[in-house]
Structure 1
Amino acid sequence: MVGKQFPSYLLLLFSWLMMNQVTSEIPTSKNGCPSHCGNVSIPFPFGIKPGCFLDEWFEIICQNDNSSNTIPKPILNRTKLEVIEISVEGTFQVRNPITFLNCSDKQIRESTNLEGSPFKYSQNNKFAAVGCGAIALMNSGEASVGGCSSICNDTAYGNSCNGINCCQTSIPSNLKSSNTSFLNLPAEGSGNQCKFAFMADQRWLESGSTNISAIHEMVDVPVELIWELYHYSTYDIFGTFVETNSSGFLEYNCYTDIATSEYGCYQNSSCDVYIANVNQPRLQCSCGSSWTFEGNPYLLEGCKDIDLCKKDPNYCGEGYICTDYRGAVGCSPPEHKKSPLEAILIGVGSGVLVLLFLSASAWLLTKYIKKRRREKFFKQNGGLLLQQQLSSGEANIEKTKLFKSDELEKATDQFNMNRVLGQGGQGTVYKGMLADGKIIAVKKSKKVDGFKVTEFINEVVILSQINHRNVVKLLGCCLETEVPLLVYEFISNGTLFRYIHDQNEDFQLTWETRLRIAKEIAGALSYLHSAASFPIYHRDIKSSNILLDEKHRAKIADFGTSRSVTIEQTHLTTLVCGTFGYLDPEYFQSSQFTDKSDVYSFGVVLAELLTGRKPVFMEAEEGGSLAASFILSMEENSLFDIVDARVLKEETGEKEAIMAVAKLAKRCLDLSGRKRPSMKEVAMELERIQKSVKASDYVEQNVEVVEYNRNEMTAPRNDVSISTWSASYGGIASLSDMEAPLNEKHMVTYK
């Protein structure tokens, strides 16, 4: 009996010795510390017992319910999150709770607040909402940072989250805290059905094995977090960059040569120090990716070279000599005896020939690769689609320049993050300066895929057909980079949203300025709808897509989701896209976008200009919708209770003009698109209101003169009408000016 068990015992002992040998060769945890909790590996700086983790944020509690059949669960002690997987590359996966609405037997839980911790939510996650007509917002603090809405279809549940009964959206960068709220907007068939929302790892959400309709039976989903090492830093007397925390010096460091300012980590690893904050640099180490090193770079001698020749002695074949230097494996035939002179001559001659051959080959290969990459990116970024548009005669881009990639890289300082002007759903915008000193804005798309490329070419074609002083001008594009690039004129004074909702002492948004900006936007939209070569629907009109130039003139931007339509078309059928608070309810229900959908969004912008309130707010009244509360105030004759105090405190006596604009905004916000005015009618009405305001100002300024000369006037003062004063005012651009192509004789300067 003993004899039969002995070989098994030896086998187990041998396996244990091999495991310990591998662990000693490629360590992941500190010496003498547990390396696993259940099936999860726990690498340093995480650890299970005192002395094994960096600080309390990285402490893992290995939780066991004392059942022999239960696998222990690793719990992050400070956050109480269950850990699924940890990577020394700076990420780890945890279980994140689902937020439910109208779901029986479900507790209301929110995502963990990570403020003050070295953790944040990765942008590899997606925010998703599931349910018939579910409309969910992702909030951080008191502000909404994202959200999505699903289309109701009781028969369409499945394994994909494509907008029908399930929607998803990206999350912002550097997100530390998040909570979920639902909007109760009217949606046919939604009722009080169970709806829920969550943030989850995109790879899990889009996996074919994930059943969307079965998620409501779960209580949490996997989410990816980023862990970072933030510590105060100092230089010691030997020039070593030593990372410290409140408890003193740590046993890992990131050294530097003061003469060359080159950072590094422990031997066989590489180091990066990101100065996100002057007092809190971020240290990130990694085992050299270009060599065959593996292990944990945060441990002394944690990165080990995997010698392929030792691992497989017959790698090169019998009789051949195998060499492995930092991952470069070489195979050479058996050596034979050579004289010293012969060896020197052969070595020198071979070296010269190899050097010449490698130099010529590298030059030719670099030139060939660069050419092929440009050709590949040209096709990848929609070059063929753009050529098709040109050959069809639908686009007119004779004046649009095709920029070189190195020209734009130099202009933006290699797309430096310090040059970022803003980020949106379509991409990131950088500020740049060309060689001739001209300031530009360069838009870099987020991803290179068919959908994004189509949007990019769509924006090029649409903007190339637009020539209007209140629309951001397209200067050109670049198709030979990894992601498509658009080059615009630089608009210096930011967005209208910032001036409405943030106080700015340098520029006061007076009532006269608000009225002028509203007229300029309406004129541009009227041009797009009825005066361009093809009618163009913007589809995302909002105050953050309206920029102000150096003279604070309004310019409409961001045409990534715009569409041009033929004269015969009355609407455009698409997947619902737009921004909460500005979205046309009729379009949301029917998915049919018309010119009246742009009118509705403009009506919300008018309400913003009048009230100074955001289109969606956290208060419960009227579902948190500016459009709803604005219409209610008009119906209850309480408009001036919500008008922006910065408008009322001017005491200009222009309440009639404010009421006229408010009535126009109410018409634009009519739930029935047929009852809304066209943008041309809106532009004409705003021009009439502005002229009447200017005329009233002129009357008030000259009333003393009229009174003084009343005995000399041939007609009574009551005969002076507003239309008479309006006709005498010559400083306002006419509607025909706004619709005509931009040239010098039509330029209007607002003072």
Structure 2
Amino acid sequence: SMLQMWTALTTMLLLLAAAVAAASGATTHGGCLPSCGGVDIPYPFGIGPGCFREGFEVECINSGPVLAGTPLRVVQLTLDPDESQVMLPIGWQCYNVSDPDDTYNNWDYGNTTMNKDGVYRISNTHNMLVVVGCNTVGFVASKRTEGGADASAFNTGCMSYCNNSASAQDGLCDGVGCCHVSIPPGLTDNYFNFREYDHSTMMEYSPCDYAFLVDRNNYTFRRSDLKMNTKRTSPVWLDWAIRGNSSISGDIPSCKQASKTDQYACVSTHSDCVDSTNGPGYNCKCSSGYQGDAYLPNGCTNSMFFLVNVLIVTITS
């Protein structure tokens, strides 16, 4: 009858809404906090003992999530794409008015270690390096190598110059007061440095040099940024992957290797393994037609298949 059809349709819409809400929300181990400060915390991330995979711990501090062991505030965590957005500090050095060549004890290179377990890489597809200042070269450096305190696998940066106080223009970041450059993949930590140049004639309008990583779509230069707050943070996307595996000594597994071990992370049925595109390791995705959390047993579900079955049962009953 028409009433049965209407009841079935209403039921299906309600179930669809519930399924969409469940799929968009966090999926966690039972008894674990599903969110903190309005941010979903899906497994393998988690808060508290037994709630996270090694390297993926999040702490809920002052009603907001941070990457465990760091001051980095988490804005967003997603499973597909495998990304997290955090707020990273900027690097800066400010010159001395009485001695413009002196930056001693007046700098902070924004050095932030967030990779104790090697989970994160700074996304080269989503972020850029920005250097702000007049007469400066700023650069971001990769994680220190075994070659010594000043040895890095690579540096990448750009130069910014000004002829006078009116040179820099709002909205333009092309080498006058502000420059930007793409970053390579594989960047593991946040660390900036500068080459020092004479600032004696520009202390009034450009007393400092600044460098920071930022979401490509989340920064527009303003001339006022030549005197920006050194406590500023910027939104940066991190790529994450399953990179550690105690069963493979000294090796970070690919999908093919990991699937043969008891550490394999893609535990849900209807899940697929994908090798990481930024650094070694792999990620887990729900198979086509399924959604949810591939890192949990039975985490990938086919809500549409379930709804069609409910609809058929409802109509025929």
TM-score (norm 2): 0.69
- Note closer, same or farther for the CA distance 1:25–1:130 as it changes in structure 2 (3 Å cut): closer
Q: Secondary structure at the match of 2:228?
A: helix
Q: Residues 219-298 of structure 1 correspond to what in structure 2 (within 5 A)?
A: 219-230=232-243, 231-233=245-247, 241-244=259-262, 249=263, 252-253=265-266, 266-273=268-275, 282-288=281-287, 290-291=288-289, 293-298=290-295
- The residue number in structure 1 matching 2:59 is 61
Q: Deviations over 1:674-714 (max 9, x none)?
A: xxxxxxxxxxxxxxxxxxxxxxxxxxxxxxxxxxxxxxxxx
1:553-702 correspondence to structure 2 within 5 Å: none
Matches within 5 A, 1:242-391: 242-244=260-262, 249=263, 252-253=265-266, 266-273=268-275, 282-288=281-287, 290-291=288-289, 293-307=290-304, 310=307
Relative contact order higher in (CA < 8 Å, ≥ 6 apart): 2
User: Quick one: structure 1 residues 174 and 21, their matched pair in 2 at CA, closer, same or farther if it must change by over 3 Å?
Assistant: closer
Once the two structures are superposed, residues 45-77 of structure 1 have per-residue CA deviations (whole angstroms, 9 ceiling, x without a partner) of 11012111012x21111112xxxxxxx110111
Q: 1:164 is aligned with what amino acid?
A: V
Letter in 1 for 2:208: C
- Name the aligned partner's letter for residue 89 of structure 2: P
- Where in structure 1 do 4 or more consecutive aligned residues deviate above 4 Å? 18-22, 24-27, 186-189, 273-277
Q: Does 1:145 align with 2:136?
A: no
| Cα deviation, residue 84, structure 1 | 1.1
Q: Which amino acid aligns with 1:45?
A: P
> For the structure 1 residues 168 and 301, does the alpha-carbon distance in structure 2 shift closer, same or farther, using more than 3 Å as the test?
same
How far apart in 1 are the matches of 2:65 and 2:117? 22
Q: 1:160 to 1:42 in 2, by over 3 A?
A: farther
- Unaligned 5+ segments in structure 1 are 1-14, 65-71, 235-239, 254-264, 315-320, 322-751
**Residue 119 of structure 1 corresponds to which residue in structure 2?**
120
- The one-letter amino acid paired with 1:40 is V
CA 1:135–1:273: 2 relative to 1, 3 Å = closer
Q: Does 1:86 align with 2:97?
A: no
Q: Is the 8 A contact 1:85 1:94 kept in 2?
A: yes
Distance 2:58 2:174 in 1: 37
Name the CA distance, whole Å, in 2 between partners of 1:45 and 1:121. 19
Q: Find the aligned partners of 2:277 and 2:307 in 1 and give their Cα distance.
A: 41
How many angstroms apart in 2 are the aligned matches of 1:272 and 1:185? 46
CA shift, 1:232, in A, is 4.3
CA distance in 1, matches of 2:122, 2:242: 15
What is the CA distance between 1:37 and its match in structure 2? 0.3
Are the equivalent residues in 2 in contact too, given 1:233–1:242 (CA < 8 A)?
no
Q: Deviations over 1:377-409 (max 9, x none)?
A: xxxxxxxxxxxxxxxxxxxxxxxxxxxxxxxxx
Shift, 1:198, TM fit: 1.0
For 1:134, the equivalent position in structure 2 comes to 136
Which residue of structure 2 aligns with residue 40 of structure 1? 39
Aligned with residue 219 of structure 2, among 169, 182, 205: 205
| 1:107 CA drift (Å) | 6.6
Give the 5 Å matches for 1:440-519. none
In 1, distance between residues paired with 2:24 and 2:117?
Answer: 36
Query: Unaligned regions of 5+ residues in structure 2, if any?
Result: 1-13, 97-105, 145-150, 249-257, 313-317
Question: Residue 192 of structure 2 aligns to which amino acid in structure 1?
Answer: T
Identity of aligned residues (%): 28
Q: Offset at 1:133?
A: 2.8
1:115–1:177 contact (8 Å) kept in structure 2:
no
Compute the displacement of 1:178 (Å).
4.4
Contact 2:140 2:191 in 1 (8 A): yes
Report the Cα distance in structure 1 between the residues aligned to 2:140 and 2:236, rounded to whole angstroms: 15
Q: Normalization by structure 1: what TM-score?
A: 0.31
Shift in CA distance, 186/211, structure 1 to aligned 2, threshold 3 Å = closer
For the pair 1:154 / 2:165, whether they are aligned, the reply is yes
Query: What count of residue pairs does the alignment treat as equivalent?
Result: 262
AA partner of residue 303 (structure 2): I
Rounded Cα–Cα distance in structure 2 between residues aligned with 1:221 and 1:102: 19
1:98 alignment counterpart: 90
Alignment-derived partner of residue 723 in structure 1: none
Aligned residue number for residue 469 of structure 1:
none
The answer on whether the counterparts of 1:83 and 1:92 sit within 8 Å (CA) in structure 2 is yes
Aligned to 2:185: 173
Q: Return the alpha-carbon distance in structure 2 between the equivalents of residues 275 and 25 of structure 1.
A: 24
Aligned-partner residue type, residue 197 of structure 1: A
CA deviation string 1:408-449 (max 9, x = no partner): xxxxxxxxxxxxxxxxxxxxxxxxxxxxxxxxxxxxxxxxxx
Task: Report the aligned-residue RMSD.
Answer: 3.9
Q: Does residue 114 of structure 2 align to residue 110 of structure 1?
A: no
The structure whose residues are more often strand, as a share, is 2
Q: Which amino acid aligns with 1:200?
A: V
Which structure has the larger Rg? 1
SS at match of 1:213: helix
Query: What SS class does the counterpart of residue 307 from structure 1 fall into?
Result: helix
Per-residue CA shift, 1:525-570, capped at 9, x if unaligned?
xxxxxxxxxxxxxxxxxxxxxxxxxxxxxxxxxxxxxxxxxxxxxx
- Contact 1:26-1:303 at 8 Å conserved across structures: no
Alpha carbons of 1:49 and 1:131: their partners in 2 closer, same or farther (altered >3 Å)? same
Separation in 2 of the partners of 1:175 and 1:23? Answer: 34
Partner of 1:670: none
Cα distance, 1:19 vs structure 2:
6.8
Q: How far did 1:212 drift? A: 6.8
Residues 95 and 50 from structure 1, CA distance in 2 versus in 1: closer, same or farther, beyond 3 angstroms?
Answer: same
The change in CA–CA distance for 1:25 and 1:268 in structure 2 (over 3 A counts) is: farther
